[in-house]
Structure 1
Amino acid sequence: MPDYSYKSGKLNRSHLLHYLDTTFAAVASSPSWYLLGKDVEDASVALNPDTSTKKNILDEATVEDNGYEPEFDLDTFYAKPGDALYEKLKDIMMNRLTGDACKTSVLEVIVDKTTGAYDALTEDVIVKPQSYGGPQGGVNIPFNCTFAGNRVKGSVTFAAGVPTFAKATEE
């Protein structure tokens, strides 16, 4: 279980937490957050900035900033029957589900204070298994999460290791 407190100095990788809502509900009034990270040695959100540079006939350059197309890949996820995320990944891959059937929410939390509530956000993601099988040692289902909008900023508190998200109040 991660240490839900920050002492000082550089942040440990365990202080950036990613959870997926295993309900995969269109509107999750009570999300069931699944902490990603078991058997994972490296996981990063790729922001994929979308910019382009154009040069006109006067040799003047302009940069067009079209925002970001964030995603993250989890290259290691071992199948564990009975595990809520495994059951959904299995359904997506075996039935080749598409669209809203693959949509859920991600919860990102950064533990960079000595006490909570910690800065967090939720956002819709599309979850897509990339393959299944793998070498000896376990059935691996690497998957990709593409951020799909509806980003909500807020904060998280933890009780017995379970996160509770609270939407930020608008000022």
Structure 2
Amino acid sequence: MPYEENEALSENENDNEDIKEEVITMAGDTTTVGRLKRSALLHYINTAFSTSLTGAAWKVIGKDVEDLSVELNPSTETIKNILDETSIVDTGYEPSFDIDTYYADPSDGELYTKLKDIAMNRKTGDDCRTLILEVLIDKTTGGYDAWVEEAVIKPTSYGGAQGGVRIPCSVTFCGNRQQGTVTITDKVPAFTPAT
């Protein structure tokens, strides 16, 4: 029995290698990097908390964050008429994500200052609106595909357990999404809108 289990395991390992190899060679060019690591998808917040690209101060999200997924929250409506015909109305997406493990850290500069201000002074509306920049590094050289969009950032609580003051946040995308490219120099992204 143990031999059969090991044999099955070996076959699965070979299958995984075949899949990995297929992922790498499917594109057929030298710009691909293989199966993407999670660090290939970067999310930045404009810590200037404005909706203008001019003067944007990008801060990458990731320190102390073990999991971050943009929930697209697709919205559809099913309508059935009196003829027993069904139609689907696609009403789009309501994307958002949560940063559950943001620790209050004054060395984060404007991001910490703004989140503290929003949470402690119960700010709303435009005081919570900024830009989110998403960059997908799926080739070996830039410019990398990127998207910028307005978003509202709202702390959901503050405090937490032993280990540090936490200010978890909810980030809701607001629209005006714009595609472009990003080049990264000394860890600082520069976004260029598509023409």
Is TM > 0.5 for Structure 1 vs Structure 2?
Answer: yes
In structure 1, which of residues 91, 99, 109 is the aligned counterpart of residue 117 of structure 2?
91
Kindly state the Cα deviation for residue 9 of structure 1 after the two structures are TM-superposed: 2.1
The TM-score with structure 2 as length reference comes to 0.81
CA distance in 1, matches of 2:63, 2:146: 21
Report the counterpart of residue 3 of structure 1 in structure 2: none
Establish whether residue 106 from structure 1 lines up as the match of residue 132 from structure 2: yes
Structure 1 residue runs without a partner (length 5+):
1-5
- In the TM superposition, 1:36-51 aligns within 5 A as 36-51=61-76
Report the counterpart of residue 144 of structure 2 in structure 1: 118
Determine which structure has more spread, i.e. the larger CA radius of gyration: 2
Q: CA RMSD in A?
A: 1.3
Kindly state the Cα deviation for residue 106 of structure 1 after the two structures are TM-superposed: 0.3
CA distance in 2, matches of 1:18, 1:113: 17
Establish whether residue 128 from structure 1 lines up as the match of residue 157 from structure 2: no
Larger mean CA deviation between 79-88 and 138-147 belongs to 79-88
Deviations 1:4-40 (A, max 9, x none): xx86321000000000000012434111000001111
Percent of residue pairs bearing the same amino acid type: 58
Establish whether residue 153 from structure 1 lines up as the match of residue 175 from structure 2: no
CA distance in 1, matches of 2:176, 2:101: 27
Kindly state the Cα deviation for residue 82 of structure 1 after the two structures are TM-superposed: 3.8
SS in 2 for 1:46: coil
Report the counterpart of residue 97 of structure 2 in structure 1: 72
Give the number of aligned pairs: 164
In structure 1, which of residues 2, 12, 20 is the aligned counterpart of residue 45 of structure 2?
20
Question: Structure 1: which amino acid aligns with 2:84?
Answer: D
CA distance in 1, matches of 2:49, 2:63: 20
The TM-score with structure 1 as length reference comes to 0.92
Higher relative contact order (CA 8 A, sep 6+): 1
CA distance in 2, matches of 1:110, 1:119: 6
Larger helix proportion, structure 1 or 2? 2
Q: Any runs of at least 4 consecutive aligned residues in structure 1 with deviations exceeding 6 A, and if so which?
A: none
Larger mean CA deviation between 27-36 and 10-19 belongs to 27-36
CA distance in 2, matches of 1:101, 1:73: 19
| Contact 2:179–2:194 (8 Å) recurs in 1 | yes
CA distance in 2, matches of 1:65, 1:25: 31
